[in-house]
Amino acid sequence: MSASLFDLRGRVAVVIGGTGELCGAMAEGLAAAGAEVVLAGRSEEKAASRLASVSAAGGRGYFVSVDAGEKASLTALLDHVLTRSGHVDILINGAGVNSPTPFLEITEEEYDRIMTVNTKATFLACQVFGAHWLHTAQPASIINLGSMAALTPLSRVFTYSMSKAAVHNLTKNLAREWAPHHIRVNTLVPGFFPAEQNKKVLNPDRVASILNGTPMGRFGEARELVGATLLLASPAAGSFITGTEMVVDGGFQAMSL
């Protein structure tokens, strides 16, 4: 019974940012649960390595190139998946970019780039896929990748924090709007993981501060996001979960003095 709660056989999951470290691991977890996974991103080379792992584990998937900040590209992604797979049930919005630029030195160009990748891309993908599901009256699950920086003020990541806070807010609004249509929208909130977009802000002092503030005393591993992903994606296990911020942080948010 417990295993069947997370059974995703017959489901199709589009993972935007699936060529990255965290979302790639999440995609592998979805495939292991039986879903066909679509890795949507820019790097076919990175996707090939991830898809090889999916295939080796007995899963199925393919890569689609996408510019997540362009609505036409996201529409083309949806059309491609519908043509090839017939339907789509799960959307993960995980594209992300970060920067440690001091606040007064942030240029408009950097601000626009981060907001486009982290916020606009999520907004547009929810529009494109949400419109399809509303039109077809199909139940679905959207998982937006949030950030601890959206919940707890963190130094040195000003625009990133703003962009992710907007994603958290958008998720709650869409959860409320679309719950009557059986479209669940949740935020998965990683604590500190050595994701590609975070490595540039991790100097030795910051690493020490993070580990001192994390009761488990270590960074998370990408595979540790899989369980939460399956819970939020599964129509059986997560059928009454929407609008939540599911935190996977080794206890960081519980830490004070």
Which domains are seen in the chain, by residue range? 2-247 (3.40.50.720)
Beta bridge partners of 96: none
Q: Is residue 62 among the annotated active site residues?
A: no
166: closest CA among 123, 228, 102? 123
Work out the average pLDDT over 216-235.
Answer: 96
Strands ordered across the beta sheet of 140-145: 60-65, 36-41, 12-16, 90-93, 140-145, 183-190, 245-248
* 179 vs 207: which has the higher pLDDT: 179
pLDDT for res 197: 59
Q: What percent of the chain has pLDDT over 70?
A: 96
Q: Is the pLDDT of residue 256 over 80?
A: no
Catalytic entry in 63, 133, 160, 219? 160
pLDDT tens figures, 99-119? 999 999 999 999 999 999 999
